[in-house]
Homo-oligomer: A and B are copies of this chain.
Amino acid sequence: MRYAVIGTGGIGGYYGGKLARSDRDVHFLLHTDYDYVRCNGLQVDSCDGSFHLDNVNAYTSTADMPAVDVVIVGLKTTNNHLLPSLLRPLLDKADDGRKPVVLLIQNGIGVEADVQRMLPDARLMAGLAFICSAKRGPGHIDHQCYGHINLGNYSVGSDDDAKVVADDMQAAGITARMVDYEEARWRKAVWNMPFNGMTVALGAQTDQLLKHPATRALIRRQMLEVIHAANACGVTAITEEFADQMIRNTDEMTPYSPSMKLDYDFHRPMEIEYLYSRPLAMAREAGAPMVSLEMLEAELRFLQEKYLFV
């Protein structure tokens, strides 16, 4: 199995790095870090055991890569407008009928539909990563905790082809399992939609939000909004009990800044579109508007513009 990794950051660098360490043939797309990684390799500091890759197949363009079986996309969704030009060469290199599987390890709801619209011939899988990992410097990934990933078949065609990716990841020491695509996206949204935005809006970490009774109740109410929306959208396996379970889990986590909070703090664009706007529109259309999360979206859009213009 040959892999391409697009977006060699906290996500792509970690999962791609683990696969390369287990002797899969992995080809990394790099941008500013290209020269550094070519000379010095890739360092992955990890709570599960740090490692270094000496000889990294590094590229500045996907056109220079060989044909691959799987493309791992670890970009933020705010860069998804780049995907047609990044993926097209890899799709065109493949033999007919054996287009590579494109694994989108990205946040939010609606991602696959949009990528599919841009690239109708792509065979898409969704990756929902539960991980704290970030790029700390050139060629230097810092994986702090967690790391398991849920994989969903969106348009791969055969479930077996999707399963091969999960098996490869398992063999590389990653906890990876196949899940129902739509249910997994909505389940993750139950946590993501309240916590990503509220930590930005109130400048606080998860533990502080759960400590104050007013915001604890608000977070729970927002989780119920997501669950009711999921139910209205036909995903009926998620029940209200899941909200309490998510809150209990978060109580036991170390204080945490979700990715949107990090993006905001470092003045990067936030993933408002797929974390909020798309699921909010779907919920409203299904007759189950998420009113307080709609308010949160408006606050985030305001805050995003406010800091980009100061």
Contact = CB atoms under 8 A, between A and B. Distances in A.
Interface string A269-282: 00000000000000
A295 B298 contact: no
A201 interface: yes
A279 to B, nearest CB: 16
A299 B294 CA distance: 15
A117 interface: no
A209 B302 contact: yes
A144 B19 CA distance: 67
A212 B302 contact: yes
A60 B15 CA distance: 71
Interface stretch (A28-36, A174-182, A214-222): A214-222
Interface in A262-310: 291-292, 294-299, 301-303, 305-306
A305 B204 CA distance: 12
Nearest to A303: B202
Nearest to A292: B295
A143 to B, nearest CB: 31
Number of copies of this chain that the complex holds: 2
A250 to B, nearest CB: 16
Given A212-B305, A291-B292, A298 B218 contact: yes
Interface of A: 201-204, 208-209, 212, 214-215, 217-218, 291-292, 294-299, 301-303, 305-306
24 contacts: A201-B299, A202-B299, A202-B302, A202-B306, A203-B306, A204-B302, A212-B301, A212-B305, A214-B298, A214-B301, A214-B302, A215-B298, A215-B299, A215-B301, A215-B302, A217-B298, A218-B294, A218-B295, A218-B298, A218-B299, A292-B294, A292-B295, A295-B295, A295-B296
**Minimum-distance CB pairs A-B, first 5:** A214-B301, A218-B298, A214-B298, A292-B295, A291-B291
A214 B273 CA distance: 13
A199 to B, nearest CB: 11
Contacts of A291: 291-292
B292 A204 contact: no
A209 B302 CA distance: 8
Contacts of A217: 298
A309 to B, nearest CB: 10
Contacts of A201: 201, 299
A223 to B, nearest CB: 13
Contact of A306 (B204, B296, B301, B305): B204
A303 B298 CA distance: 18
A205 to B, nearest CB: 12
